[in-house]
A and B are shown apart, each in its own frame.
Chain A
Amino acid sequence: MSTADSTITIADPFRLGHRGPNLARGHGGGGPATKRVVVGYGFWLFLLTDIIIFACLFASYAVLAQATAGGPTAKQIFDTDRVAWETACLLASSFCCGLATIAVAKRDQFLTQLALLATGLTGLAFILLESSEFAALNAQGYGPSRSAFLTGFFTLVGCHGVHVTAGLLWLGTMMAQFYAKGFRPDIGRRFLCFSMFWHFLDVVWVAIFSLVYLVGTRL
């Protein structure tokens, strides 16, 4: 009883619209999508949830930004030169990640490893710059416990930094996997997720750069 008897068609009263049935895989009645689509789609959903976490941190920063409790204001402590360098590093890292995607598509082990190494080094440079910023603020007594404003700032920017750090760990594992396993389909899907993650961190950084640093130094 489990198979269709295609000779009998029953009118479908619930079909909406006037287009024919969508029979592409993973859409409408098209049956299961390919593994690559399923994995990519699931990871997109994960990124959306991550964006909501960042949205909460952005919102709380916005609420607390003026609550300086007698401590320094944004304008007094932000060093835009360093932030410009951080941004440059992160964007370069994303660019290298794009190059790695091309190298993976060409199945070139050497270029893949090279591009991923460049991705990792520029990412590491970003983390080091950010750490030096945090360390400098701490040394001046402007750590996260100084005021609610600094709490919001360190949490929001630090959360991004933690993401980049975790991404670096993932990147190293990814390089080892390409080296040990070659360009298998499952490794390729994993790399698709990694590259999405890495570009997503750029998008979040653009928001941090604009809403925290640019707005903070203007107001």
Chain B
Amino acid sequence: MLGKLSWSAIPFDQPIPLIAGAVVVLLMLGALALVLAKGWMPYLWKEWITSVDHKRLGIMYVLLGLLMLLRGFIDAIMMRAQQAVAYHAQGYLPPEHYNQVFSAHGTIMVLFAAMPLVIGLMNFVVPLQLGVRDVAFPTLNSVSFWLTATGALLVNISLVVGEFARTGWLPYPPLSELRYSPGVGVDYYLWAVQISGIGTLLTGINFVTTILKIRAPGMTYMRMPMFSWTALASCLLILAAFPVLTATLAMLTLDRYLGFHFFTNEAGGNAMMFMNLIWAWGHPEVYILVLPAFGIYSEVISTFSGKPLFGYRSMVAATLFICVVSFMTWLHHFFTMGAGGDVNAAFGISTSIIAVGTGVKIYNWLFTMYGGRIRFTTPMLWSMGFLTTFITGGLTGVLLAVPPADFILHNSMFLVAHFHHVIVAGVVFALLAGIEFWWPKAFGYRLHEGWGKATFWFSIVGFYVTFMPMYVVGILGMTRRLQHYDVAEWHWWLQISSVGVLILIVAAGCQVAQLLVSYIRREELKDITGDPWNGRTLEWVTTSPPPVYNFAVLPQVIDTEYYWELKQRAFEQARLSEEPKYEAIEMPRNSPTGFVCAFFATIIGFALIWHIWWLMIVGLIGAYATFVVFAWRDVPEYMIPADEVAQQDRARRAARQHILNTGEVAWQ
């Protein structure tokens, strides 16, 4: 009846996951009780859960990403604590639990923290930057989000019911095959990643269509803001890379469920095929994360230097260069496979070449700052911290790109230090800068600068103290993922590393404090104008937060940095442009399709993990019924009358006119 599921799946004998799980369940039940008691449910259902508004979905993505970032960070704290004490000892985490922790940490950080944060910012910003009312397929967008949430939910369920994979963030066979991993851990991984991966794939389709087909009139390619360009490149990579992930995980799933022989040791299976396939996705995935991050830095550096982005065209070219070349470097993840000197040399060279595109970008950012009037706001600090940190991180990558060096450093702590160096400085700093930068647009008030700066300084110091020692122990011969060790030279370095984590905990505390303090003091931090940073792109033309339709009339773009030009002209002429003629606006209606889809996806995933076949069939029928109900609806849109649009836009224009009249500008 319940397949493999029984009471023994609950880890009553292991206090750590049990307590952690109980706390999470209690928090969730508490939140639900609060929502029900306060009568917030109808509001949440109408305005958020069934919303197809790209801004709302973006905010929900970011919320999901931040929660999972916290979860992944807790895993990291556990690992650092374990390695700090597990010298000539077993530490406090038994091996099977430690293995789950590092597997969950990698999976969560890349797929359920970084990805939702990146996609969330793309969701929120790209339509605003391109002068669009919503994405090409709004309901599909909601389906994407809820499928991602399903994946995150399954990973968290594995904390309490059963176990998570012990195979690392990429489940290499033959270890991940049924013979060596008979438990449900790998199955949790497979279905969680598969379901959220499909959500990501749909996001890719949605955003490529949006960016290529429904930009505002006059928004030619060479007028698109840099973040939108990088979002396009990232989504093209999603389109090309995520199907590979889907296929690869499906193959491993077939091996495990139906006794196929793709990657097994027996009957002619080929485990190395898995490494090739998974990294044909995995390497572009790195750039799916980091290209939008580069876009965020471009916007932030240009805005706070008060200058147009230096070398815009070379930036576009470098972005697309990276987009293409990122598919030609995957083999550097396993130089030690034994592909031979020629193949390794080719991939070593392509790996070094991809650094050229990034180098172009670094110079562009530096020259954007050169001669500018730089404002040292929190987003700008993150960007400058990124510039200095990322260059050295990239250099260690160039070291690893040399195959002979890689033979020594492969899978050592040096590698762990390298990829955290580039991902934390490249992606995490960008995401925090981006959240800080676009927060006022989303919520109508700025975040508190003091707490933001504290977060930055604790983060960057904590980062160096945590990860630099890893380079050293890597060169001293320490391999990654060690549960305990007996080498005296490593011990001190690993203890320094755990001190770094303590500093990062303070940073995380400052970040949470910043959000709380800013919310409490939201009145004094209020953004009245809709343009709190003296911005240059179209998202700053509308109010903060923007109305559901984003723009009262679609902008007619006639220039690069069109909004900046409009603003300068308004200041010169001391008046706004003529009031436009308002028309009724057609907007997509909200739909529970995404949420219901995800509900059935969760059921299907859970049923497949535990081999509860009848439940899987119920889920499939439910999913099909959801599609049919969605396909059957007659009125997919509603109209916002012209009067309402006019009224709201006149209020916006009045706020702008006030700035012009008083000459009082809130821009520091």
Contacts and interface: CB of A to CB of B under 8 A. Distances in A.
Nearest to B262: A151
A81 interface: no
For chain B, give the interface size range: 35 or more
A144 B264 CA distance: 13
A152 interface: yes
A59 B260 CA distance: 16
B577 A5 contact: yes
B258 A32 contact: no
Contact of A41 (B212, B221, B248, B636): B212
Contacts of B273: 60, 63-64
Contacts of B136: 38, 42
B552 interface: yes
A151 B312 contact: no
B559 interface: yes
A52 interface: yes
Contact of B239 (A29, A30, A48): A48
B142 to A, nearest CB: 15
Given A49-B242, A144-B260, A186-B636, A38 B208 contact: no
Contact of B247 (A42, A57, A181): A57
B277 interface: yes
A12 to B, nearest CB: 6
Given A49-B201, A49-B243, A53-B243, A173 B631 contact: yes
Nearest to A174: B631
A140 interface: no
Contact of A3 (B261, B262, B556): B556
Interface string A50-65: 1011001100100110
Interface in A11-50: 12-16, 21-22, 26, 28-33, 37-38, 41-42, 45-46, 48-50
Contacts of A14: 222-223, 312-313, 560
B343 interface: no
Nearest to B248: A56
B209 A13 contact: no
B391 interface: no
Contacts of B580: 2-3
Given A2-B580, A21-B220, A42-B205, A13 B261 contact: no
A204 B52 CA distance: 34
Contacts of A52: 239-240, 243-244, 247
Given A145-B267, A186-B636, A42 B201 contact: no
- The CB with the most chain B CB atoms within 10 A, among A42, A46, A69, A152, is that of A42
- The CB with the most chain B CB atoms within 10 A, among A2, A3, A41, is that of A2
Contacts of B557: 4, 29
Contact of B213 (A33, A53, A173): A33
Contacts of A13: 560
Interface stretch (B57-65, B397-405, B566-574): B566-574
Interface string B250-272: 01001000111110101111100
Interface in B288-310: none
B239 A32 contact: no
B541 A26 contact: no
B247 A56 contact: yes
Contact of A56 (B132, B244, B570, B653): B244
Contacts of B627: 173
B631 A152 contact: no
Given A12-B223, A52-B244, A67 B277 contact: no
Contacts of B204: 45, 49
B215 A31 contact: yes
A113 interface: no
Contacts of B239: 45, 48-49, 52
Contacts of B205: 42, 45-46, 49
Contact of A63 (B244, B270, B560): B270
Contacts of B277: 56, 60
A13 B222 CA distance: 9
Given A16-B222, A42-B205, A63-B270, A1 B570 contact: yes
B216 interface: yes
A139 interface: no
A146 interface: yes
A53 B567 contact: no
A42 B653 contact: no
A45 B456 CA distance: 40
A155 interface: yes
B209 A64 contact: no
B208 to A, nearest CB: 6
Nearest to B247: A56
B583 interface: no
A147 interface: yes
Contacts of A2: 541-542, 551-553, 555, 566, 577, 580, 649
A26 B218 CA distance: 11
A4 B555 contact: yes
B217 interface: yes
B541 A1 contact: yes
Nearest to A143: B259
Interface in B202-240: 204-206, 208-209, 212-223, 239-240
Contacts of B632: 177, 180-181
B646 to A, nearest CB: 13
A152 to B, nearest CB: 7
Contacts of A8: 569
A60 B240 CA distance: 17
Contacts of A3: 553, 555-556, 577-578, 580
A169 interface: yes
A101 interface: no
Q: Nearest 10 CB-CB pairs, A to B?
A: A67-B268, A148-B268, A4-B556, A31-B217, A14-B222, A56-B247, A52-B243, A145-B259, A32-B214, A42-B209
Given A12-B222, A177-B632, 12 more contacts: A1-B567, A5-B569, A10-B565, A12-B220, A26-B214, A29-B557, A41-B212, A49-B239, A144-B258, A144-B261, A151-B269, A177-B631
27 contacts: A2-B541, A2-B552, A3-B580, A14-B560, A22-B220, A26-B213, A26-B214, A29-B217, A29-B218, A29-B219, A29-B223, A31-B215, A31-B217, A41-B212, A48-B239, A52-B240, A52-B244, A60-B247, A63-B270, A69-B266, A144-B254, A146-B267, A148-B261, A148-B267, A155-B260, A173-B627, A180-B632
Interface of A: 1-6, 8-10, 12-16, 21-22, 26, 28-33, 37-38, 41-42, 45-46, 48-50, 52-53, 56-57, 60, 63-64, 67-69, 71, 144-149, 151-152, 154-155, 169, 173, 177, 180-181, 186, 190
